[in-house]
Amino acid sequence: MARLVVMGGGVAGHTAATFAKKMLGSAHEVVVVTPNSNWNWIPSNIWVGVGGMSKEEVIFPLAPVYKKAGIDYRQAKAVAIHPEGKEGSDTPYIMIEYTDQTKPGQTEELTYDYLINATGPKLNFAATPGLGDANGLGEHTVSVCTADHAEHAAAELQKCIEKMKRGEKQTFLIGTGHGMCTCQGAAFEYIFNVEHTLKEAGVRDMAQIIFITNESFLGDFGMGGIHFNMGGFAMSSKVFAESLYAERGMDWILGAHVNKVEAGKVTYESLDGTMDEQTFDFAMLIPPFAGVGFKAFAKDGSDITATLFAPNGFMKVDANYNAGAYENWKPSDWPRTLQNPTYKNIFAAGIAFAPPHLISKPMSSPNGTPINPTPPRTGMPSAMMGKAVTMSIVDMIKGAPEPTHTACMAEMGAACVASAGKGLFNGTAAAMTVYPIVPDFETYPGTGRNLNGTTGELGLAAHWVKHILHFVFIWKAKLRPGWTLIPE
């Protein structure tokens, strides 16, 4: 009997664990270690953040789902990996620390035969002074990265609406809180939802809405832009995004590294090296992501964290981390099996793996500050990785010597539906797909993308899609009938 331990019960981890259990049955053990008692459909946090949905609508408790599926669920966070075991035992194990009400802080050694690291990002608020600290979000800004943050954001937004109703003008600053952020898509969605909410509340004319981003052009999205087809028309995400912003009277600040947040004010450095300030009454700034910060130890107790993890805390996998300068980047630098090169029974999926390099063009200010989006790893690729890794492990448990399945971001398309306002009849959204996520300059000379695989749609239909997705994915995550048929 083999034991598969999955660290992290988010998009990648939940997909991995549920498929593993289904494929392995009761012959083998599947354990999930994750610190939260609830599962959160993160994309819908955007709607929670404007008060369009309640927190309860985007989360559900994990325990009953895992109980039904026969998965051993530990409400705990993993803190260290011992891939060689310890003195007197060769069995690898991880250290976990319970977060569960009944035994908080209690630690335990959990042995494994196979380990999947799907711990996603650490929301690194501490990277920008004033944005937050080691404990998380600071007092000056809001966030929509977790359901709790989003609920808080909605309450703050409501306060601003009240003020505007009393005749006070307000400035809204939404975007990225550091030069090395990813997830611009979430900020993009949020700003449109805020604009929509203010309009609905009848206070739009009292608000100035500004987007601040580390992208060098609107619509880069960490992917160097998307060129898509909208109703038969070719559109670049820049032209498209600019017209959307301009139409709604929203301003934007590009190429910005926010380096300090104070009450009502951010300071930022621009790509041209200048320093500027922007005041705000309400600010939602996405923090940069880092790995969750595990330690790893060899059998003799020596620290081998650097063998397993890149300096940013993400796990090393079968990627080419020595690709060098931008002009040498190739799709083949990107990992395929997501297996750790040193310890063949450890895999990483979702945001937790260390990408070989950026996707967008690297840029920095004349002062040497890097200001560029880091590679996005959105829900769909994360789930595809979770599934591929699981299928490899299942085959390896059954005797395969090597991973048998791959999920490579250079061979995957991404579909993204960005909602720009919730409402059954007045909602709108932009749907775009891009293929492949990592540009392949050899196969598709020029932009590195296959235009036939990229489409976009704007309007109510796309909004419905986003709404349907919310229900479909929660249905799938709850393992309701037919869940395996729903694609990632």
Partner 1 sequence: MIQEIICFPDERINIASADIRDFDETLWELIDDLKDTAEAHHAQGIAAIQIAIPRSVVIAKTPDGEWVECINPRIIKTKNRSLSPESTLYLPDVIEDIPRYEKITLIYQDRYGTQRSLNAEGEFARLLQRKIDYTFGGTLANRLDKKNRQRVEKKLFAQGINGQFNATSKISKREYFKSVISKLLFFEALTWLAPLFHASQERLLSFWHYDIFATAASIVLIIGYLIYSKFEADRSVSCTGCQVVSFTAVAVKYFLAMALFCTLSYLVVRPH
Ligand X SMILES: Cc1cc2nc3c(=O)[nH]c(=O)nc-3n(C[C@H](O)[C@H](O)[C@H](O)COP(=O)(O)OP(=O)(O)OC[C@H]3O[C@@H](n4cnc5c(N)ncnc54)[C@H](O)[C@@H]3O)c2cc1C
Sign of CA dihedral 334, 340, 344, 349: negative
Query: Can you tell me whether residue 152 is helix, strand or coil?
Result: helix
d(CA 410, CA 237): 20
Q: How many residues bind ligand X (CB under 6 A)?
A: 34
Residue from 88, 105, 401, 446 binding partner 1 (CB under 8 A): 446
Contact 334, 317 (CB under 8 A): no
DSSP character for 341?
A: S
The total of other beta-carbon atoms located within 10 Å of residue 371's CB is: 25
Nearer to ligand X, 24 or 96 (CB): 96
Q: Which x/- pattern over 46-85 shows residues binding ligand X (rule: CB under 6 A)? A: x------------------------------xx-------
The total of other beta-carbon atoms located within 10 Å of residue 229's CB is: 17
Token output for 228 = 């898509």
Token output for 187 = 């900020």
Subset of residues 319 to 338 that bind partner 1, contact rule: CB under 8 A: 326-327
- Using CB under 6 A as the binding rule, whether residue 223 contacts ligand X is answered as no
Subset of residues 366 to 405 that bind ligand X, contact rule: CB under 6 A: 377-380, 382
- Using CB under 8 A as the binding rule, whether residue 469 contacts partner 1 is answered as yes
Q: Which stretch binds partner 1 (CB under 8 A): 77-85, 187-195, 305-313, 461-469?
A: 461-469
280-to-42, 372, 388 alpha-carbon distances in Å:
26, 23, 44
Subset of residues 311 to 350 that bind ligand X, contact rule: CB under 6 A: 350
The b/e string for 99-124 (b: 16+ C-beta within 10 A; e otherwise) is beeeeeeeeeebebbbbbbbbbbbbb
- Using CB under 8 A as the binding rule, whether residue 229 contacts partner 1 is answered as yes
**Minimum Å distance from CB 54 to partner 1?**
23
The total of other beta-carbon atoms located within 10 Å of residue 455's CB is: 17
Residue from 39, 192, 297, 435 binding partner 1 (CB under 8 A): 435
**Minimum Å distance from CB 208 to ligand X?**
23
- Using CB under 8 A as the binding rule, whether residue 298 contacts partner 1 is answered as no
Q: Is 419 exposed, middle or buried (0-12, 13-18, 19+ CB in 10 A)?
A: buried
Nearer to ligand X, 34 or 406 (CB): 34
Nearer to ligand X, 34 or 365 (CB): 34
Could you give the count of Cα atoms lying within 13 Å of 424 in the half-sphere of its Cβ? 0
φ/ψ of 168, rounded to 5, equals -90, 130
d(CA 388, CA 484): 14
332-to-25, 195, 245, 412 alpha-carbon distances in Å:
35, 41, 36, 13
Subset of residues 274 to 293 that bind ligand X, contact rule: CB under 6 A: 292
Nearer to partner 1, 195 or 220 (CB): 220
Q: Which stretch binds partner 1 (CB under 8 A): 77-85, 149-157, 266-274, 301-309?
A: 266-274
- Using CB under 8 A as the binding rule, whether residue 78 contacts partner 1 is answered as no
- Binding partner of residue 7 among ligand X, partner 1, none, CB cut-off 5 to 8 Å per kind: ligand X
Establish whether the linkage from the previous residue to 436 is cis, with ω within 30° of 0: yes
Q: Which x/- pattern over 113-152 shows residues binding ligand X (rule: CB under 6 A)? A: -----xxx-----------------------xx-------
Q: How many residues bind partner 1 (CB under 8 A)?
A: 64
Nearer to partner 1, 264 or 453 (CB): 453
Contact 143, 121 (CB under 8 A): no
Residue from 270, 278, 320, 369 binding partner 1 (CB under 8 A): 270
d(CA 23, CA 241): 43
Site residues for partner 1 per CB under 8 A: 216-217, 224-225, 227, 229, 231-236, 238-239, 243, 246, 253-255, 270-273, 326-327, 361, 363-364, 366, 380, 411-417, 431, 433, 435-436, 441, 445-448, 450-453, 455, 457, 461-462, 464-465, 468-469, 472-473, 476, 486-488
Residues found near ligand X in the complex (CB under 6 A):
7-13, 33-36, 42-43, 45-46, 77-78, 118-120, 144-145, 183, 186, 292, 350-352, 377-380, 382, 416
